[in-house]
Amino acid sequence: MQHIIDQTINFVKITLVNAETGHDWFHIERVYKTAQTINATEKGDELIVALAALLHDIADSKFNNGDEEIGPQKAGEFLKSIGLENEIIHHVQEIIRNLSYKASLGEISFKSKELDIVQDADRLDAIGAIGIARAFTYGGYKNRVLYDPEVKPNLNMSKEEYKNTTAPTLNHFYEKLLLLKDLMKTSAGKAMAEQRHQFMLTYLEQFYAEWEGKL
């Protein structure tokens, strides 16, 4: 099994050399490690969890004209090339297909314990200390201000608005990051999310105090 995982790690590293910082190899590595931590309690299939975590962002539809099938297709071709059985390949493809936050807003077409584990691990990387860093990195890339007390968070954005919003980065906490805790599926994921959530609340409290020139 380790040999299959090592080959997959190599493939993912090579494929993501030019990936943007939100979805680079280090994001994959964190999701992979977090998925293993969750799986230690949840006891899903280790190979499926590992392969799905490693391949989940192999092609981002945002940079492929919104084509949601490119990721599963690329992953499938690779897994076939190293000789894996169809059953494993299909399961990994289904997980990748169903993983994105976007997919989770629509109807759920596929369910598995391994999907829950990898999805929780991916969502955990958007919250806590790393999640805060990723949000401000993304905001900087989009030329957004850190915070503007005049611009209130919008909880009813359409997918299109969500993608093109010019709102301050701090709004993203209320529009997405603080909502992720309640979307966790596994109990191990929930416990980790609870801790990271509390950390974000502490961070926000400090942020507002400093904004007012206090503390």
Shortest distance in whole angstroms from residue 16 CB to ligand ADP: 13
Other CB atoms within 10 A of residue 208 CB: 14
By CB under 6 A, residue 168 contacts ligand ADP: no
Residue 25 touching ligand ADP (CB under 6 A): no
* Interface residue with ligand ADP, options 47, 165, 178, 203 (CB under 6 A): 165
115 binds ligand ADP (CB under 6 A): no
Token digits for 155? 């909880």
Does residue 120 bind Ni ion (CB under 5 A)?
Answer: no
> Looking at 124, 135, 192, 193, which residue binds ligand ADP (CB under 6 A)?
135
Helices (H), the chain: 2-15, 25-42, 46-55, 70-81, 86-99, 101-105, 113-124, 128-141, 159-164, 169-175, 187-211
Distance (Å, rounded) from C-alpha 40 to C-alpha 95? 19
34 binds ligand ADP (CB under 6 A): no
CA distance 181 to 109: 22
b/e 132-167 (16+ beta carbons within 10 angstroms → b): bebbeeebeeeebeebeeeeeeeeebeeeebeebeb
From Ni ion, ligand ADP, none, interface partner of 153 (C-beta below 5 to 8 A by class):
none
Stretch that binds Ni ion, among 52-60, 82-90, 106-114, 138-146 (CB under 5 A): 52-60
Judged by CB under 5 A, the stretch of 104-112, 119-127, 186-194, 198-206 that binds Ni ion is 119-127
Contacts of 111 (CB under 8 A, 6+ apart): none
Q: Should residue 122 be labelled a site residue for Ni ion when binding is judged by CB under 5 A?
A: yes
**Which residues contribute to the site for Ni ion (CB under 5 A)?**
57, 122
**Which residues contribute to the site for ligand ADP (CB under 6 A)?**
22-23, 100-101, 122, 126, 131, 134-135, 138-139, 165, 169, 172
